[in-house]
Amino acid sequence: MQNRESGGVTAARGFRAGGVHCGIRKNAGKPDLAMVACSAPCAAAAVYTSNKVKGAPLAVTRENLKDGRAQAVICNSGNANTCTADGPAKARRMCEAAGRALGISPRDVIVASTGVIGQPLPIEPIERAVPALAASLSRGGSLLAARAIMTTDTVVKNLDTTCTLGGKTVKIGGIAKGSGMIHPNMGTMLCFLTTDAAVSARALDAALRRAVDVSFNMVSIDGDTSTNDMCAVLADGLAGNPEIAEPSGADFEAFAAALTGLCVRFARMLAKDGEGASRLLVCEVTGAKDRQNARLAARAVVHSTLFKAAMAGADANWGRVLCALGYCGAQLDPAKAGVAFSSAAGTVAVCRDGAGVPFSEEQAKKVLSQDEVTVHVALRDGAASAEAFGCDLTCGYVKINGSYRS
């Protein structure tokens, strides 16, 4: 749900956002510095990349969020501020600049960066731009902020939703970026979420981890886990619902479900906008022995380079699905497995009991030529299921990453 005045990260009461070009990126027409701020202190939580090499902003944000509180986000694109000796100091200077401009403590600022790794971050352009950026924040600034955090993205990722808690309508919104260097866990991706729900930092953290587990942790674009991945959420409580103090109960479940639904929508957008991609791939695994085995199987299929290449050519090479299942480490019996493809053009079954079945290549081509394709994998080993999100692999991916720094 969105409107022109206050959608996305500003859908929730109390939040403003904006984006400007400060000079990190060469293209002056592309904003490269985003800010999101709230009129009130917020409960906050975040999850980060599992890569051992982490961007300096992640360490600073983790330190700032030790008290479970935050009031603003600042993020630049064009430079990852990673693997440089002065990275932490510059991340702190970004927090200090935002704090001065907003009149809040720099320790209440979430800081993030995305872009090229290993190059010193030019901090002076950021510090010069922050005062004007802070002054420009508005309820209609979500799209500007969303554009400012984009790198190789081709689609702006700006979404929101609502739920009812204690009789009050609560809004949850966010912005995200990510197109390449994405592989579980977390996938380069950033996501900043806001809500006007009254929820404690402890419950917020639990809801976020639940949401990320079935959304961003189930996306694979290219097998590379980024150094700068972060998903953060701020909750200001302005909706007036009774506070969700614990990660349990009907209101917590309703909030967690709404947050999860929003993150899944973002995950699908990230996968569909994969670098050079022409279609979204969704793998739905059913009949697994348990949830972990279902997740292993689903992620293996969308991660398979051979399968992704086949999908780029709309080739129903289902053997590559079974191949991926066979090496993924999941407990399964290949002789029970079934595979089918579906899209807006219909459904075609291609494998049953681990062996091929007759199907129309012409119909399969039509099904696989759509911009969203689902691979249905039936394992017939149990009752567990999982869903993973990926994209096809085209020559465009190599072209983008062969000249990323230029």
> What are the catalytic residues?
188
Question: Residues 365-371: contacts with CB within 8 Å, 24+ apart?
Answer: 365/314, 365/316, 367/316, 367/341, 367/342, 367/343, 368/311, 368/314, 368/315, 368/316, 368/341, 368/343, 369/314, 369/345, 370/279, 370/343, 370/344, 370/345, 371/272, 371/278, 371/279, 371/280
The per-residue DSSP string of 277-340 comes to -SSEEEEEEEEESSHHHHHHHHHHHHH-HHHHHHHHTT---THHHHHHHHHS-----GGG-EEE
Sheet holding 280-288, edge to edge: 355-356, 346-352, 338-343, 372-378, 280-288, 384-391
Q: How many helices (H) and strands (E) does the chain have?
A: 11, 14
Label the pairing between strands 280-288 and 372-378.
parallel
Residue 152 CB partners (closer than 8 Å, separation 6+): 179, 180, 275, 400, 404
Residue 191's beta-bridge partner residues?
176, 231
How long is the chain? 406
Q: Please give the distance of CA 194 from its chain centroid, rounded to a whole number.
A: 14
How far apart CA 76 and CA 399 sit, in angstroms, is 24
- Among 287, 296, 311, which residue's Cα sits nearest to residue 375? 311
Residue 75: alpha-carbon gap to chain centroid? 15
Q: Which contiguous run of DSSP H or E holds residue 69?
A: strand 69-79
Q: Calculate the alpha carbon distances from 305 to 219, 281, 300 in Å.
A: 14, 13, 10
Return phi, psi of residue 287, to 5°: 75, 25
